[in-house]
Amino acid sequence: MARKITQSKSQKRLEEIKEKVNLIKVRLDQRTVITISSIDKLEKWKRLFPDAQLI
């Protein structure tokens, strides 16, 4: 049987992964804010929403 990962260990691993990924917040319109992981994806969103802004 496999051992169960404790909640504290899984939280630590999750935090390590989150630290490695640089997240970018983008405001698409007045009400909508999204989070993307790369500038390449920002270009895609700028094509769909020309008024998108970095936060």
Residues of the chain short of pLDDT 70, as ranges, are 1
Can you give the pLDDT at residue 15? 86
Q: What is the dihedral of CA 31, 33, 34, 37, to 10 degrees?
A: 160
**pTM of the model as a whole:** 0.60
pLDDT at 20: 76
CA–CA dist 22, 17 (Å, integer) = 10
> Which pLDDT value is given to residue 9?
87
CB neighbours (10 Å) of residue 8?
8
